Chains A and B, each alone.
Chain A
Amino acid sequence: MLKDITIGQYFPGNSVIHRLDPRFKIIITGVFIAMLFTADNFIGLGIGMVFLLVSFLLSQIPFKLMLKSLKPIIPIIIFTSILNLFFLDGVVLFKLGFIKVTYEGLRTSAFMIIRIVALIMGSSLLTYTTSPITLTDAIERLLSPLKKLKFPVHELAMMMTIALRFIPTLIEETDKIMSAQKARGADMESGSLLQRAKALTPILIPLFVSAFRRAEELALAMECRCYQGGDGRTRLRQLHSTGTDFFALGISIVFFDIIILMNCFLG
């Protein structure tokens, strides 16, 4: 169950996409999301999907893994599309008792599904091809102008690094604690909602205890190594942008423009 969580998971590789400068990858992902939400006709969306598909093929990430990242959001997709499908007023396509399906409803839910799926796939592509450390490094660099406004950019990045670093650890820990309680006969799969909520106590308490213990240990270890924030700190990995990065950004902007043009002519 917990193994299905792939958000923030890195899939090592050496494809063109993997090698792109992470700062550019973040910006391109931003441009891509903008594409999805500006496109207001199917051709525009289709072009966005082509862009996604090409990047995806270039990244050499197995298709199965992509599907896995979609699995947790299936309920959300189904729920929103049902709402849209049945409860939007407009031209009635067909009627079955009190259920009626309208053209607008059909169109909106199709749009919604494509947008959500593309959004998740696009952002998973970013995390699949960029290691968490590089990702936060890039975010720190992108946000660094905010330092002038006394915004704690370094601290924010450090918090993100630590959070990302500990997601797998906590998942593993939860898995372990769950196994240990199951071994003592804990029953988490049956019973009423209340019983199931109660059955979580044996998992949550040890999990919190260990999370606080880890936080304390980490803080201590950082202090022992004289960590004192971002001022004057140099970095092990320097980020370098190359021609490929600018080329990739250029292409995504071209795609974005095409979609805007589509909107003007077909909208």
Chain B
Amino acid sequence: MSVIKTENLTYTYSIGTPFEKTAVDNVNLEIEEGALVGIIGHTGSGKSTLIQHFNGLVKPTSGKIYVDGQDIWAKETKLRDIRFKVGLVFQYPEYQIFEETVYKDIAFGPKNMGLPDEEIDRRIKETAELVGLHKENLYKSPFELSGGQKRRVAIAGVMAMEPKVLILDEPTAGLDPKGRDKILSQIKEYHQQKKSTVLLVSHSMEDVAKFADKILVMNKAQLFCYDDTPEVFKRAGELSNMGLAVPQITRVFNRLKQSGIDIRTDVYTTEFARKTILEYLEKRGGERA
């Protein structure tokens, strides 16, 4: 069964004013349990608006959203329970930190869930380690930490709630490449440990290509496609036309194909590129002999 399902989901900002803007336009979507999904799209394509629907922060103008088969805007649904089920880490989440110590800030979510203290303590220590926060930092004021560390605190704060679905809105924005890779691999680790569904919004095709099993592409408020990663990158041409930069390695293979070399184009990681080129060379070597 799908954990998240939308039916004709539409959302319009500032309805009835000259600033009216449809940010999500008739999206039909089903996300399977346990999937690791990358969400990409141009600036302003409606990614952030879309994901805020999944935990009921935004009420759709029309259409329906089901979490675990439950219509989240039905009368009998408690939105707070949905929010514990679907955890959302906002863009620049470090600006939501408010407690005196890192420990207390991570505890905020689990405490709201009403968990016993020992369980909260266990979760804090576990997630802190997972996102790479040192033990001695747990009792510091979060405002003393660096930007990247604050980001980790905020991400840990949502992970500690152990939601069934974890959604992250550009968790790597504004970090250096090394920090970016690290956070991504920590998120992947969380996904594998907890067997939870993870949705990750990103601007970087490279990141998404390395990270995700499935990709959801938004274009001008509409769902362009939602498919397995290789399938999506087969449509590199269309993605480029949309103004989305496909990974460099994919572009190289597309060029090779254009210049008449018979090679596959659904290549998006360096590892797979190496394999493909070796295979190709072997095949050609065979033909020559």
Q: Please list the residues of chain A having a beta carbon within 8 angstroms of any beta carbon in chain B.
A: 11-13, 62, 64-65, 176-177, 179-187, 201-202, 205-206, 209-210
Smallest beta-carbon distance B97→chain A, Å: 7
Q: List 6 A-B contacts (CB under 8 A).
A: A62-B17, A177-B95, A180-B90, A185-B109, A201-B98, A210-B95
**Chain A residue nearest to B154 in the complex (CB):** A180
Which of A187, A201, A206 contacts B95, CB < 8 Å? A206
Q: Please list the residues of chain B having a beta carbon within 8 angstroms of any beta carbon in chain A.
A: 16-18, 52, 55, 57, 80, 83-84, 87-90, 93, 95-98, 108-109, 112-113, 143, 157-158, 161
Check A183–B98 contact: CB distance below 8 A: no
From known contacts A177-B96, A201-B98, infer whether A11 and B161 are also in contact, taking CB-CB under 8 Å.
no
Check A183–B55 contact: CB distance below 8 A: yes
Chain B residue numbers with a CB within 8 Å of A183 are 55, 57, 83, 87-90, 158
Check B112–A62 contact: CB distance below 8 A: no
- A205 to B143, alpha carbons, bound, how many Å? 11
From known contacts A11-B18, A179-B52, A206-B95, infer whether A184 and B112 are also in contact, taking CB-CB under 8 Å.
yes
Chain B residue numbers with a CB within 8 Å of A180 are 90, 93, 95-96
Smallest beta-carbon distance A202→chain B, Å: 5
Smallest beta-carbon distance A26→chain B, Å: 24
- A202 to B93, alpha carbons, bound, how many Å? 13
From known contacts A12-B18, A64-B16, A180-B90, infer whether A206 and B83 are also in contact, taking CB-CB under 8 Å.
no
**Chain A residue nearest to B84 in the complex (CB):** A185
Check B98–A179 contact: CB distance below 8 A: no
- A180 to B90, alpha carbons, bound, how many Å? 7
Smallest beta-carbon distance A10→chain B, Å: 10
**Chain B residue nearest to A65 in the complex (CB):** B17
Check A185–B113 contact: CB distance below 8 A: yes
Smallest beta-carbon distance A207→chain B, Å: 9
Instruction: Kindly name the residue among A65, A182, A185 whose own CB sees the greatest number of chain B CB atoms within 10 A.
Output: A185
Check B83–A176 contact: CB distance below 8 A: no
- A256 to B83, alpha carbons, bound, how many Å? 57
- A185 to B87, alpha carbons, bound, how many Å? 9
Check B96–A206 contact: CB distance below 8 A: yes
Check A184–B90 contact: CB distance below 8 A: no
- A176 to B92, alpha carbons, bound, how many Å? 11
- A12 to B20, alpha carbons, bound, how many Å? 13
